[in-house]
């Protein structure tokens, strides 16, 4: 790709992000021009291929996200799940607890990938699709954990009586707010499990950021 083509692509992506950042309100051409530091004429040109692919929808001077994004979004979780599975498998076998990846969906955490250990007598059955508030459980709290400190969060009996959890945030992946953790019906030694969960979260981030 030429330098000019690369710059055009970068501006197009910046424009798409600016439309998304408008939230529920439609962004105007003038607002988008200011947001990406381009002229109104440039914004009109960039909108053409985005509109043709259904990624944005123009209503006169206003621009909204297009339904074409739904098709792309539908492929995100399956690919994320596939990328996370080897990391979760290694963690589940090492710790002897059910490992899971959760992502933020508004003010809730949703489990998108779960791997159960193969050698334990019993373990927690944690369903893909399970949701709970970000303010409850290790998985939710880890998503909002700020840098600094130990790097992991623990919980006990917050979501299920007798269940203990340890989770760490997956950091450094643009656009992803997620946590990786384990849950067990037996008490977890956070001094041992915590570092293992953090290391797994770092490995997953490296996988997701790996260039093609």
Q: CATH number of the domain that 45 lies in? A: 1.10.10.10
pLDDT attached to residue 156: 94
Per the structure, the count of domains in the chain is 2
Asked if 138 and 167 count as a contact pair (C-beta separation under 8 A), the reply is yes
Same domain membership, residue 85 and residue 66: no
d(CA 163, CA 154): 11
pLDDT at 162 over 90: no
Task: Say what the pLDDT of residue 211 is.
Answer: 57
- Cβ(29)–Cβ(14) under 8 Å? no
Identify whether residues 34 and 111 lie together within a single domain.
Answer: no
User: Which whole number is the average pLDDT over 24-28?
Assistant: 90
Question: Does 87 lie in the same domain as 161?
Answer: yes
Is the pLDDT at 1 greater than 80? The verdict is: no
Give the ranges where the chain is alpha helix by DSSP (H).
Answer: 3-21, 29-36, 40-52, 68-73, 76-95, 137-143, 190-209
Residues 190 and 142 in one domain: yes
Residue 189 pLDDT: 96
Residues 81 and 58 in one domain: no
pLDDT for 122 equals: 83
pTM of the model: 0.77
167 with 193, same domain: the answer is: yes
For residue range 135-152, list pLDDT tens digits in order: 999 999 999 999 887 899
Q: What is the pLDDT of residues 66-76, one digit of tens each?
A: 989 888 878 88
H/E segment holding residue 203: helix 190-209
Percent of the chain clearing pLDDT 70 (strictly above): 97
Mean pLDDT of 165-174: 95
> Do both 64 and 81 map to the same domain?
no
- What domain range is 49 assigned to? 3-71
- The answer, yes or no, to whether residue 212 has pLDDT greater than 50, is no
Confidence grade of residue 30 (pLDDT, cut at 50, 70, 90)? very high
CA 101 from chain centre, in angstroms, equals 9
CATH of the domain at 184: 3.30.450.40
- Rounded to the nearest integer, the mean pLDDT of the chain is 92
> In 3D, which of 186, 185, 181, 184 has the Cα closest to residue 200?
181
- 175 and 190 in a single domain? The answer is yes
Asked if 114 and 183 sit in the same domain, the reply is yes
Averaged pLDDT, 161-167: 93
**Whether the Cβ atoms of residue 194 and residue 149 lie closer than 8 Å to each other:** no
């Amino acid at each position: 790709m030429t330098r000019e083509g690369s710059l055009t692509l970068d501006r197009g992506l910046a424009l798409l992000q600016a439309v998304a950042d408008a939230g529920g309100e439609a962004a105007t051409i003038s607002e988008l021009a200011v947001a990406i530091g381009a002229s109104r004429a440039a914004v009109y040109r960039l909108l053409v291929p985005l509109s043709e692919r259904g990624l944005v929808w123009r209503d006169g001077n206003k621009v909204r996200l297009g339904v074409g994004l739904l098709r792309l979004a539908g492929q995100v979780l399956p690919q994320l799940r596939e990328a996370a599975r080897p990391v979760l498998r290694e963690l589940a076998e090492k710790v002897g607890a059910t490992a899971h990846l959760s992502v933020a969906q508004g003010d809730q955490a949703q489990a998108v990938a779960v791997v159960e250990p193969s050698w334990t007598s019993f373990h927690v059955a944690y369903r893909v699709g399970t949701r709970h508030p970000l303010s409850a459980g290790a998985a939710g709290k880890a998503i909002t954990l700020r840098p600094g400190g130990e790097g992991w969060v623990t919980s006990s009996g917050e979501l299920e009586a007798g269940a203990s959890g340890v989770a760490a945030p997956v950091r450094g992946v643009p656009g992803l707010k997620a946590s990786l953790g384990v849950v067990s019906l037996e008490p977890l030694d956070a001094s041992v499990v915590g570092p293992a969960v953090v290391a797994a979260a770092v490995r997953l981030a490296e996988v997701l950021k790996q260039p093609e």
